[in-house]
Structure 1
Amino acid sequence: MKLAAAILLATATMIGVAVADEDDDCIDRVLNTAAKIMKHQVVKDAAKALDEARRKCRLPPGLT
Structure 2
Amino acid sequence: MLDGETAAVLRAVLDEVCGGVPRSDTTKRTNVASGLLQAIREGRSSIDELRIAGQAALRTAPSMWR
TM-score scaled by length of structure 2 = 0.40
Larger radius of gyration: 1
Which one has more relative contact order, counting CA pairs under 8 Å at least 6 apart? 2
TM-score scaled by length of structure 1 = 0.41
